[in-house]
Amino acid sequence: MSIKDAAQAVMKKAVQAAPDGWMPGGTPDPLIRQKHGLIGKPVSRLDGPQKVSGTARFAAEFPMENMVYAALKYSTVAKGRIKELDSAAAEAAPGVVLVMTYRNAPRMKPAPLFMSSDKAAGGDDLPIMQDEEIHWNGQPISLVLAEAQEQADYAKSLIRVTYETEPSVTVFEDAKANAEQGVFQGQPLLLEIGDAEASLAAAPHKVDVVYRTPRHSHNAIELHAATVGWDGDNLRVHDASQGVAHGAWSLAQVFGLEEAQVHVTSPYVGGGFGSKALWQHQILAAAASKVAGRPVRIMLSREGVYRIVGGRTLTEQRVAIGAQADGSFDALIQTGMVAMGRHNNMPEPFILPAMSAYKSGSFKLAVEAAKMDMLANTFMRAPGEAVGTFALESAVDELAESLGMDPIELRIRNEPEKDPTSGVPFSSRHIVEAYKAGAERFGWAARKAKPGTHREGEWLLGMGCATATYPYYRMPGGAARITLTKDGRATVEIAAHEMGMGTATTQTMVTADRLGLGMECVTVNYGDSHFPGVVLAGGSQQTASIGASVIAAHRELITELLKLAGKDSPLAGLDADEVTGRDGYLCKADELGRRESYVSMMARIGRDEITAEATAPPPLEFTHWSMHSHGAMFCEVRVNAVTGETRVTRFLGYFDCGRILNPKTAASQFRGGIIMGLGLALMEETQFDERNGRVMNPSLAEYHVPVQMDVPEIDVIWTDIPDAHAPMGAHGVGEIGITGVGAAVANAIFNATGKRVRDLPITLDKMM
């Protein structure tokens, strides 16, 4: 079910219900107006001391008594069946406790495929070590448990397998012949307004070109890992997870358990970017643990991550823009093809940016999926947008060049007043301001309009820009619990995640402001499937989801508090909307002197603690408004005229993402996204050998991600204009940073050299 579907399904009921503050028909979150609090202050991470001292424990770092270590062996063919599998030597090897194969693995159901229901977390829905069938090159075919990791690894190397291969589709060109309409979140990736091809043909100015982006791997530095154990029929999982509630429910489906029988915790996640979902390793570890009767620690090798954790798929995108001499678009076409695994549903939706970026007389946007026998491709930071903006924003630059117009001016001329494809108003959109202020700050005026004319020694200099865009999401199911204790402290519990976004810190600030408490009086607990809420750390929706959940729980708490405090309290007779928290007191909002401290109220009530739990209202806001984050991205490069090497020397991201809650951690999120975008632009590619569907650079030495020396000082700044229709006025900031970067770099390279590269990554050979 799609996010929008889910929203619409509950909409009918909800419309009658009183809408909460910032919801359609209501007033904005009161926190937006509040200027005296913690929001907007640069606060250092609360988990910083643990992280810098090595005391923060990640998934593979929880010891369990009597634990054994796992190693996985992977298939080497793309399709077929196991003919012979000889594990005798492995079983006899020192320290080996179990060799699990399809022959002795317990019966399990496939994992529920991510997005097939609200708590589904599986990367694919294939059988897991249940039969001889091979579905991709790299599929786990055997798991070894041993007393020590060295023993498990060695025993694994003794397993001998032969295969009967079957014809497979591992060549993209072959797969294209049988491509299907891409369907994303229940909606076909197809949108036509007017006759775009005819308008294009008739337009006096046009670009019509094809862009290509390769496969990518998330490459979180923490290897995928889990420590699992059974207590009777209860499964305990220390996971690295972007969705603990999703993981617990999905594991329960696999093993035929009640959801509550599976307990997943994930206090720290060493980077996710979309990759830390439920893949086969957690399931196989749990299965092996069941068979062996001992807890299991599994940590994939780096190669293992490439073999069994999907990444971003490749795209081939045609972008055609037809325009008048003044630059106004008559036609905007973005169509093309992505490769997709047969057992997942992620047709990299690269047309999403084009749905709202520009106004145009006509649109034709479509994604087709070419099914291949390959590892399930999946969500990776800004799925769709990261690669879609590369093509779209490169094409806009190409059009500007052919019109002889400044590319910023061209964008401003096509700025829509309302969402150009859905027709609904924007909730908040200040991209023009961002461009103008960004151009000023970056020194855009110094850019040479004529490409290839700025040279210093061997180096050619150039500047480029591009628009960043990513939607505001909030998925249904968010819920939170708040407990207020008699000493005036509050604890929030929510099944949310901290993967480095700064969630724990930021939400502590927000909750403290909401309650009118100091940060030291607020604790936010997360990363535990037993906590309330279904809160995915993905789609940049976590901030809004937690925000909405805490608003709801907070309202319950205050209502309860006021009710219990009774008529002797100075606040008697007021309801939750009439009070506000300040300095440890609840105060009448428009008469701050009328107040009572939480400690005093709790004493009056005579309770040690009061707990309130509530579910966030359904996400109606983005059915009423077109909600997006934006950014104006500016890049300066140097390209070596001798060797073709590109160095990014300056980068500015000017963002419009609503109110920024914690500038310190938000800046890091922006920069982190931009740096991953530099990788996408210049060096990243998962090399998929089309002869056998095997990833050939499954290593951080061979798959290049940016190193310290590749990264200049990155300037990030923001409009800080709150979005009245979002909780706290804020948008998530995790993914916007990577969008637009590929094009900003490619456009800068064009400006430096006059050479247009439409095929990522822009490695030096393409510049020669």
Partner 1 sequence: MNSFTYARAVDSADAVRQGAAVNAKYLGGGTNLVDLMRETLERPSALVDVTGLSSAITEREDGSILIGAAAKNTAVAENKAVRTRYPLLARAILAGASGQIRNMATVGGNLLQRTRCPYFYDDEGSRCNKRVPGQGCDAIQGFNRIHAILGASSACVATHPSDMCVALAALGALVHITGSDGQRTIDFAELHVLPGENPEVETTLRPGELIIAVEIPALPFARHSVYRKVRDRASYAFALISVAAAIEIDSGVVKDVRLALGGVAHKPWRALKLEAALTGQPATDENFRAAADQELADAKPLTHNGFKIELAKRTIVAVLAELAGDLS
Partner 2 sequence: MSINVNGSSIDLPSDTRVSLLDLLRDHLDMVGTKKGCNQGACGACTVLVDGERILSCLALAVQYEGRSVTTIEGLSTEGMLHPIQRAFIEHDGFQCGYCTPGQICSAVGMLGEVKRGLPSNVTGDLAGGSITLTRDELCERMSGNLCRCGAYNGIVDAITEFAETIK
Active site residues: 735
671 binds, among partner 2, ligand FES, partner 1, none (CB under 5 to 8 A by kind): partner 2
Environment class of 194 (CB within 10 Å of its CB; exposed 0-12, middle 13-18, buried 19+)? middle
**423 CB-near residues (< 8 Å, 6+ apart):** none
Distances (CA, A) of 580 to 21, 179, 559, 567, 586: 14, 56, 12, 18, 6
CB nearer to partner 2: give 507 or 569. Answer: 507
Which one of 53, 456, 709, 713 is in contact with partner 1 (CB under 8 A)? 709
Q: How far is the CB of 293 from ligand FES (least distance, A)?
A: 31
Q: Is 273 in the site for partner 1 (CB under 8 A)?
A: no
How far is 715 from 436, CA to CA, in rounded Å?
Answer: 16
How far is 183 from 188, CA to CA, in rounded Å?
Answer: 4
Environment class of 490 (CB within 10 Å of its CB; exposed 0-12, middle 13-18, buried 19+)? buried
Q: How far is the CB of 158 from partner 2 (least distance, A)?
A: 15
Q: Is 272 in the site for ligand FES (CB under 6 A)?
A: no
Q: How far is the CB of 78 from partner 1 (least distance, A)?
A: 10
Q: Which residue is nearest to ligand FES (CB)?
A: 221
Q: Is 502 in the site for ligand FES (CB under 6 A)?
A: no
Q: How far is the CB of 412 from ligand FES (least distance, A)?
A: 37
Per CB under 8 A, which of residues 629..658 are in contact with partner 1? 642-645, 647
- Give the other-Cβ count within 10 Å of 617's Cβ: 24
345: nearest Cα among 369, 380, 365, 315: 369
Which one of 150, 164, 174, 409 is in contact with partner 1 (CB under 8 A)? 150
How far is 378 from 218, CA to CA, in rounded Å?
Answer: 10
- Give the other-Cβ count within 10 Å of 433's Cβ: 15
63 binds, among partner 1, ligand FES, partner 2, none (CB under 5 to 8 A by kind): partner 2
> Tokens for 366?
């479509």
Q: Is 701 in the site for ligand FES (CB under 6 A)?
A: no
69 binds, among ligand FES, partner 2, partner 1, none (CB under 5 to 8 A by kind): partner 2
How far is 256 from 260, CA to CA, in rounded Å?
Answer: 12
3-state secondary structure of 763: coil
CB nearer to partner 1: give 517 or 683. Answer: 683
Q: How far is the CB of 665 from partner 2 (least distance, A)?
A: 7
Q: Contact at 8 Å (CB) between 628 and 429?
A: yes
742: nearest Cα among 639, 635, 649, 656: 635
CB nearer to ligand FES: give 177 or 701. Answer: 701
3-state secondary structure of 370: strand
Which one of 107, 177, 707, 713 is in contact with partner 1 (CB under 8 A)? 707
Which one of 123, 464, 500, 617 is in contact with ligand FES (CB under 6 A)? 500
**520 CB-near residues (< 8 Å, 6+ apart):** none
Which one of 692, 720, 721, 755 is in contact with partner 1 (CB under 8 A)? 692
- Give the other-Cβ count within 10 Å of 221's Cβ: 9
The sign of the CA dihedral 275, 281, 287, 293 is negative
How far is 488 from 609, CA to CA, in rounded Å?
Answer: 9
Q: Is 172 in the site for partner 1 (CB under 8 A)?
A: no
Q: Is 74 in the site for partner 1 (CB under 8 A)?
A: yes
Per CB under 8 A, which region of 147-155, 441-449, 571-579, 727-735 contacts partner 1? Answer: 147-155
Q: Is 271 in the site for ligand FES (CB under 6 A)?
A: yes
Angle at 722 between CA 716 and CA 725, to 5 degrees: 135
Q: In degrees rounded to 5, what are phi and psi of residue 347? A: -80, 80
231: nearest Cα among 295, 147, 297: 295
Binding residues (CB under 8 A) for partner 2: these are 44-45, 47-58, 60-61, 63, 69, 148-150, 154, 218-223, 268-273, 299, 301-302, 499-502, 664-665, 667-669, 671-676, 699-701, 705-709, 711, 713-714
Which one of 212, 687, 756, 759 is in contact with partner 1 (CB under 8 A)? 687
Q: How far is the CB of 735 from ligand FES (least distance, A)?
A: 16
- Interface residues with ligand FES (CB under 6 A) are 221, 271, 500
Residues that bind partner 1 (CB under 8 A): 74, 76, 137, 150, 153-154, 157, 458, 642-645, 647, 682-683, 687, 689, 691-692, 694, 696-697, 699, 701-702, 704, 706-710, 763-765, 768
